Amino acid sequence: MKKKLITIFAILLFPLTVAAGGGGVALDPVNINLNDKESLQKGARTFVNYCLSCHSAGYMRYNRMGQDLGISEELVAENLLFAAEKTGDLMKAVMPAADAKKWFGTAPPDLTLTARSRGPKWIYTYMRSFYRDESAPSGWNNKVFAHVAMPHVLYEWQGEQRPIIEKDSHGVEHITGFEIAKAGTMTEKEYNEAMRDLTNFMVYLAEPAKLVRYKIGLYVILFLIIFMVAAYMLKKEYWKDVH
Ligand code: HEC
């Protein structure tokens, strides 16, 4: 009976394991921590400087982001407002979508909700999996997004990667890893850390209410602890007469 149940479970869960695989490419785990304000701020800086030129995060306003991440309105205006005029503006792309479509063949999608549609692991792996491909129009390809129209916009940081390709038993070629063909300004560790911060920020972007929920959660736990002490004292008081 037990074996049968396990078999049924395994069959039911199989589609989940396939779906989580992201098309057969292994995704790397990433340490997401929305309480890490410094990481969120660094991620925001990268996002605004390097992504908003093409992509929008059209459901977020600069000042809301500043408030949530503990960046003052003046600092937002001074350091993060390249693509807009007022801190109350939505985070729209600099490049008009029609031009982008003409240049890249496909319009860069809005990134507000990408951390939810693709998942943090996917974004983290994607941003670290660009490699040189002379046959591609942009000169770049990506292990998790084959024939992607996006060029590797952070190659100066990461450097240029070349794929290590191996054939499996059926003669099909797979990318098993990368080697750095041309060094960037960051070490591998620094680049991974920057991509972790960027992914962390995009998780916040996709669900800003998560931060509020964490705060409420803390108050609830505090309340429960205080309530437990009160309940315990009350119980002692009631039982005094019984004993
Ligand atoms: C030069 C323009 C350009 C810049 C700058 C750029 N992207 Fe892109 N990006 C694109 C284009 C074009 C696509 C669409 C690719 C496709 O569909 O083939 C894309 C696709 C993506 C996707 C896949 C979205 C999905 O769900 O399919 C992600 C994630 C992404 N970009 C993240 C970023 C991040 C993060 C940055 C900043 C570090 C960035 N991009 C900067 C042009 C750009």
Tell me the two tokens of residue 83. 């693509």
Find, among 63, 64, 91, the residue nearest to 77 by Cα: 63
* Whether 149 and 92 share a structural domain: yes
* Whether 187 and 90 share a structural domain: yes
- Mean pLDDT calculated for residue range 61-65: 96
C-alpha–C-alpha distance, residues 57 and 47, integer Å: 10
Distance 167 CA to ligand 1 centre (A): 29
pTM for the full model? Answer: 0.84
- Is residue 98 within 8 A of residue 54, CB to CB? The reply is no
Has residue 92 got a pLDDT over 60? yes
Query: Ligand 1 pocket: which residues have CB below 6 Å?
Result: 50-51, 53-55, 104, 106, 108-109, 111, 114, 117-118, 123, 126, 148-151, 153-154, 198
Q: How many domains does the chain divide into?
A: 2
Which position has the token pair 């996002």?
Answer: 47
* Whether 147 and 239 share a structural domain: no
pLDDT per position as a tens digit, 106-146? 999 999 999 999 999 999 999 999 999 999 999 999 999 99
Has residue 49 got a pLDDT over 50? yes
* Whether 193 and 234 share a structural domain: no
- Mean pLDDT calculated for residue range 186-202: 98
- Output the CA torsion sign for 187, 54, 135, 123: positive
Distance 111 CA to ligand 1 centre (A): 8
C-alpha–C-alpha distance, residues 119 and 22, integer Å: 10
Is residue 89 a part of any domain in this protein?
Answer: yes
pLDDT-derived band at 181 (thresholds 50, 70, 90) equals very high
* Whether 172 and 221 share a structural domain: no
Range of the domain at 237: 217-243
Is residue 1 a part of any domain in this protein?
Answer: no
Nearest CA to ligand 1 atom 26: 114
pLDDT-derived band at 16 (thresholds 50, 70, 90) equals low
Has residue 4 got a pLDDT over 80? no
Has residue 35 got a pLDDT over 60? yes
* Whether 97 and 31 share a structural domain: yes
* Whether 131 and 236 share a structural domain: no
Nearest CA to ligand 1 atom 30: 111
Mean pLDDT value across the chain: 91
Nearest CA to ligand 1 atom 34: 51
- Mean pLDDT calculated for residue range 70-91: 90
pLDDT at 243: 67
Is residue 11 a part of any domain in this protein?
Answer: no
* Whether 123 and 95 share a structural domain: yes
Is residue 132 a part of any domain in this protein?
Answer: yes
**Atom of ligand 1 at shortest distance to CA of 202?**
35
Is residue 115 a part of any domain in this protein?
Answer: yes
* Whether 242 and 131 share a structural domain: no
Is residue 5 a part of any domain in this protein?
Answer: no
Nearest CA to ligand 1 atom 35: 51
Distance 229 CA to ligand 1 centre (A): 53
**Atom of ligand 1 at shortest distance to CA of 105?**
12
pLDDT at 212: 83
Is residue 4 a part of any domain in this protein?
Answer: no
Return the number of other C-beta atoms located less than 10 Å from residue 166's C-beta. 11
The pick from 55, 157, 191 for probing ligand 1's pocket by mutation, whose C-beta has the most ligand atoms within 8 angstroms, reads 55
pLDDT per position as a tens digit, 162-174? 999 999 999 998 8
Top-confidence residue, 138 or 1: 138
Nearest CA to ligand 1 atom 24: 109
CATH classification of the domain holding 139: 1.10.760.10
The pick from 48, 52, 54, 145 for probing ligand 1's pocket by mutation, whose C-beta has the most ligand atoms within 8 angstroms, reads 54
* Whether 64 and 120 share a structural domain: yes
Find, among 135, 140, 163, the residue nearest to 151 by Cα: 140
Has residue 105 got a pLDDT over 80? yes
Residue type, 39: S
pLDDT per position as a tens digit, 200-230? 999 999 999 988 888 899 999 999 999 999 9
Is residue 243 a part of any domain in this protein?
Answer: yes
* Whether 87 and 177 share a structural domain: yes
* Whether 49 and 130 share a structural domain: yes
pLDDT at 214: 84
